[in-house]
Structure 1
């Protein structure tokens, strides 16, 4: 996200010129190979992501997993179609800002899940558990808990590292660009 924020302005131009140069030099073979590798990498990433979900929910939820995967694939296709048509309702800059926020929220959720695993394996002390209990207001088994890492009864170590994640992330995103 930080890299894209700093390089996003020139990325399209750089990719197009590099692709044209590669097509001239190799007749398009290198571009086709690069596209195949990129598609394979994305597929492997999807498999690893879904495996992580299955491992976290061991013992059930296959229907939910498949439904979620199908819904995600469908939304990806719809997003790609809308993006390629150049929707005037959602400019590319806004689209990428929304994607950036969603990726950062997802990363914070993955951080919380990983830290909970460390606490369960006793590799990380919880320090104080729970710091508070907001379960009466909002449970953590919904979308916010799954996607963004919200916990109704957080351990102090998770809360502290989550806050450090957001401080570091916001600092990196606000840091001025250095010229090369």
Structure 2
């Protein structure tokens, strides 16, 4: 309880700042690649469900064609034709998520938590389940135990479990597993 209430945010901020200081050049390279191969906009910004069910704007590198949400559904599936060639690589390696470092610095997100979805993907019971008592995360149980292969119901079960298990050691295990999964690109589309 002490960790989740006080130390988690402090650690998130310190590590997000360190990450930015060390790897700002990667963000710049990805931005340049998107600009050269697909033009503006470089970022995809969308309203997502945050802590306590409040909306916030999530930042991601754009991996789909311009105006993709007008062309098709809000969520993607395997083989989605709207995903650009560079977008396929960014998604497979999870590099499209790196801009969320700014969401962490702002305090909207954490490194570990529930994966924030669009409002349409949540039911009334989800708001009562306790998953929104924590900040959304770049990663979480659902991302390391199934990722895109899970149904929404399975994701919700993992998110509820995380609220029960939240601790420094749990977060470290999830982050270590996230890095290994991102390196092999498993379960992404």
TM-score range, shorter-chain basis? under 0.3
Of Structure 1 and Structure 2, the greater helix share is in 1
Which structure is higher in RCO with an 8 Å CA cutoff and minimum separation 6? 2
Normalising by structure 2, we get a TM-score of: 0.21
Rg larger in 1 or in 2? 1
